[in-house]
Amino acid sequence: SLSDLFGTLTRDVEALVVVASPTVLTRKWCLGEIVTANLQNVNTMMVALPDFHFPDAMFVDALENMVVEMDELAAYGLSVADLREALVKLRDRKTMFLPNSFQSSDVATIVDQLCSCSPAEVKLQDSVDG
């Protein structure tokens, strides 16, 4: 259940890895996880897939209209103000931008970066699978 999921984030999670697809921030339960992690100071890292864009001010301002059924998140104690704060802070999170394609050898780099406390932003070089 969602209360179990949000409770687990609160009690048992040291780090949250967000697989940032172009639509992840329009999915209310994904937002709920991001907001809960933000409220609980859970270390959050972003793995940005191609075509992901961090939310701009217009997206954040329009949040109430973009996320259908906000009242469902409110039932778990998550407010619009909490959502806005979490979205604004996303840009400050450690982020790995993945290229359109990468080689299997890049997987080790991805895992190393996710498990380390290295620089705030990592970008793999575009490469072509061969």
pLDDT tens per residue across span 42-83:
999 999 999 999 999 888 888 766 655 677 788 888 888 899
Instruction: Return the H-helix or E-strand segment holding 16.
Output: strand 15-20
| CA–CA dist 12, 42 (Å, integer) | 10
CB 47 within 8 A of CB 110: yes
pTM, two decimal places = 0.79
| CA–CA dist 19, 46 (Å, integer) | 6
Helix (H, G, I), strand (E, B) or coil at 32: helix
The per-residue pLDDT of the chain, averaged, comes to: 79
CB 96 within 8 A of CB 47: yes
Amino acid at 64: E
| CA–CA dist 35, 9 (Å, integer) | 10
